[in-house]
């Protein structure tokens, strides 16, 4: 049992994301089996596991890209399973992608402006008439987007074509774009993949700063150094099952986790 469970629970904020008995199969392959866990508000929660453990599937379920076969997902008490992804962004769930999916034909600033989509209102008629409220909204969105670029350190790249950025900067841009939606939960899918040591350290700091703004973070990550450093809690998946859950310290000592990662039999005793 966790050593510091009592102190941890006492100060535990209410769960923002609540997964209950989530199962998902593709054809005959069971990707996830009855996964239940919670993500506390204002925390950084890691999601780790060997390849094929179901991490990305779980992400796609929470972000609305897939529907669970069974079980429920609640966001701040509201059931969200099966709702289309674009509605979830408006509710406050934003995500990034493992392979970085930017809008390549647009500038860096425009990418973040698109990220403002759910926090702006201008529709077809507004665009055609371009009345005062629309102009004001454009100005505000543009200012907000520049602030976010400054936050991730890309302020001087605002007008560059996004596809010309080095990969590490593309990741930062994708995070800025996700933040532009003013999410309450940010889902980061392997944010350190493809980054060098320095970049991934800076990313760790950035993730901490995002949490300090009150944004809850759920991240899949293979870089154990980063995961152990920034995460408040970690959930371990293995072959579609929830293997363990706890603080980084607990996870590092968890015999079944060690077994799953090292591939051997569970350590005796």
Note the residues at the interface with other proteins (CB under 8 A): 63, 65, 84-90, 94-95, 97, 101-106, 110, 113-118, 120, 122-124, 126-128, 130, 134, 137-138, 141, 177-178, 180-181
Which 3 state secondary structure label does DSSP give 117?
Answer: helix
> Between vectors from CA 183 to CA 241 and to CA 152, what angle results, nearest 5°?
105
Determine contact, residues 99/116, Cβ cutoff 8 Å. no
DSSP E strands: which ranges in 124-194?
185-189
Q: Which residues are paired to 161 by β-bridges?
A: 107
Closest listed residue to residue 232, CA positions, set 46, 102, 50: 46
Burial class (CB in 10 A: 0-12, 13-18, 19+), 211: middle
Rg of the chain in Å (alpha carbons) = 20
Burial string for 117-134 (b: 16+ CB within 10 Å, else e) reads: bbebebeeebeeeeeeeb
Determine contact, residues 58/66, Cβ cutoff 8 Å. no
């Amino acid at each position: 049992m966790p050593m510091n469970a009592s102190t941890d629970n006492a100060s535990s904020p209410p769960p923002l994301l609540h997964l209950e008995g989530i199962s998902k199969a593709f054809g005959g392959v069971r990707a996830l089996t009855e996964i239940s866990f919670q993500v506390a508000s204002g925390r950084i929660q890691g999601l780790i596991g060997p390849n094929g453990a179901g991490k990305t599937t779980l992400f796609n379920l929470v972000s609305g890209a897939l529907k669970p076969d069974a079980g429920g997902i609640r966001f701040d008490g509201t059931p969200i399973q099966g709702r289309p992804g674009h509605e979830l962004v408006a509710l406050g769930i934003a995500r990034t992608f493992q392979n970085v999916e930017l809008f390549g034909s647009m500038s860096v600033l425009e990418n973040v402006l698109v990220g403002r989509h759910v926090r702006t209102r201008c529709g077809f008629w507004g665009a055609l008439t371009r009345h005062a409220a629309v102009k004001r909204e454009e100005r505000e969105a543009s200012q907000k987007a520049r602030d976010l670029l400054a936050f991730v350190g890309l302020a001087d790249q605002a007008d560059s074509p996004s596809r010309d950025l080095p990969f590490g900067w593309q990741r930062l841009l994708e995070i800025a774009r996700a933040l532009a939606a003013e999410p309450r939960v940010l889902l980061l899918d392997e944010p350190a993949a493809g980054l060098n040591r320095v970049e991934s350290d800076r990313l760790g700091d950035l993730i901490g700063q995002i949490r300090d703004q009150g944004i809850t973070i759920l991240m899949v990550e293979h870089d154990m150094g980063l995961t152990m450093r920034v995460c408040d809690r970690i959930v371990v998946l293995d072959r579609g099952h929830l293997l363990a859950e706890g603080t980084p310290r607990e996870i590092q000592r968890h015999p079944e986790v060690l077994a799953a990662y090292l591939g051997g039999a569970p350590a005796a005793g």
